[in-house]
């Protein structure tokens, strides 16, 4: 596996030479610094820890300062770990968008937008009760019966009901890298990725 930490910039679309339009997401990926290299002998497994985004010195703890000093770098806002990294790296190395190539398929991990407390129509796609008729009082978006009066006389676990929606960690697979701009550290991937503009995402092969 190889990967990098990035920030979602926004969405746009590009046109192929034959005129086909493809929607894509712009991600500012890296540069990231290798802050720790874990091995099976020392840590029990092989992994590479990378950091992204500089952190103010006053917001960095003493333990973090010592940890980042080993890699000869400043404090980092986001630190993530990638197991079984397929690229040979050393402590303090910089990772940029050039570890990927145009046309590669990648996975993007991010946190979806939080929607707050939502009803069953928006949260689960319930259709409601149809047209309003006499005797119904604003029941179009109600969930309907949730119990079982003939058997258990209780609400079964997993019943789809109203509740908090969004703010979930989501992985989107099979996205294609359409374009790479090394001078700006930009990657254009096909389709949409989870999160708001400015959200932190992980791009991994």
Place of tokens 């708001």: 196
Q: Is residue 84 part of a domain?
A: yes
Closest alpha carbon to 48 in 7, 5, 107, 6: 5
Enumerate the H helices of the chain as residue ranges.
Answer: 40-43, 62-69, 120-124
Confidence class for position 130, pLDDT limits 50, 70, 90: low
Rounded Cα–Cα distance for residues 49 and 192 (Å): 26
CATH for 44: 2.40.30.10
Q: Are 121 and 141 in contact (CB under 8 A)?
A: yes
Rounded Cα–Cα distance for residues 33 and 68 (Å): 10
Confidence class for position 142, pLDDT limits 50, 70, 90: confident
Q: Is residue 120 part of a domain?
A: no
Q: Are 167 and 111 in contact (CB under 8 A)?
A: yes
Domain span including residue 65: 3-114+170-204
Q: Is residue 196 part of a domain?
A: yes
Who has greater pLDDT, 8 or 132? Answer: 8
What global pTM score does this model have? Answer: 0.83
Q: Is residue 128 part of a domain?
A: no
Closest alpha carbon to 4 in 71, 81, 75: 81
Which residues, listed in sequence order, are joined to residue 204 by a DSSP beta bridge? 3, 107
**Within 13 A of 65's CA, how many CA atoms are on the CB side?**
7
Q: Is residue 135 part of a domain?
A: no
Place of tokens 């790296």: 89
Q: Is residue 123 part of a domain?
A: no
**Maximal C-alpha separation, the chain:** 74
Q: Are 108 and 193 in contact (CB under 8 A)?
A: yes
Q: Is residue 82 part of a domain?
A: yes
Q: Is residue 130 part of a domain?
A: no
Domain count along the chain: 1
Rounded Cα–Cα distance for residues 72 and 14 (Å): 39
Residues 6+ apart with CB under 8 A from 77: 51, 52, 53, 54, 55
Summarised one tens digit per residue, pLDDT across range 152-193 is: 788 888 999 999 999 999 999 999 999 999 899 999 999 999
């Amino acid at each position: 596996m190889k990967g990098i930490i990035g920030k979602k910039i926004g969405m746009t679309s590009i046109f192929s030479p034959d005129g086909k339009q493809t929607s894509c997401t712009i991600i500012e990926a890296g540069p990231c610094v290798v802050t720790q290299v874990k091995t099976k002998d020392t840590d029990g497994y092989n992994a590479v820890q990378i950091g992204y985004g500089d952190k103010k010195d006053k917001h960095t703890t003493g333990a973090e300062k010592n940890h980042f000093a080993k890699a000869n770098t400043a404090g980092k806002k986001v630190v993530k770990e990638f197991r079984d990294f397929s690229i040979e790296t050393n402590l303090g190395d910089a990772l940029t968008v050039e570890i990927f190539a145009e046309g590669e398929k990648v996975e993007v991990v991010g946190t979806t937008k939080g929607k707050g407390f939502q009803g069953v129509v928006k949260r689960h796609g319930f259709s409601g009760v149809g047209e309003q008729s006499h005797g119904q009082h604003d029941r179009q978006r109600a969930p309907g019966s949730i119990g079982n009066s003939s058997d258990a006389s209780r609400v079964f676990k997993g019943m789809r009901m109203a509740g908090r929606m969004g703010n979930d960690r989501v992985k989107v697979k099979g996205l294609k890298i359409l374009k790479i701009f090394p001078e700006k550290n930009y990657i254009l991937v096909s389709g949409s990725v989870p999160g708001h503009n400015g959200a932190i995402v992980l791009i991994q092969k």
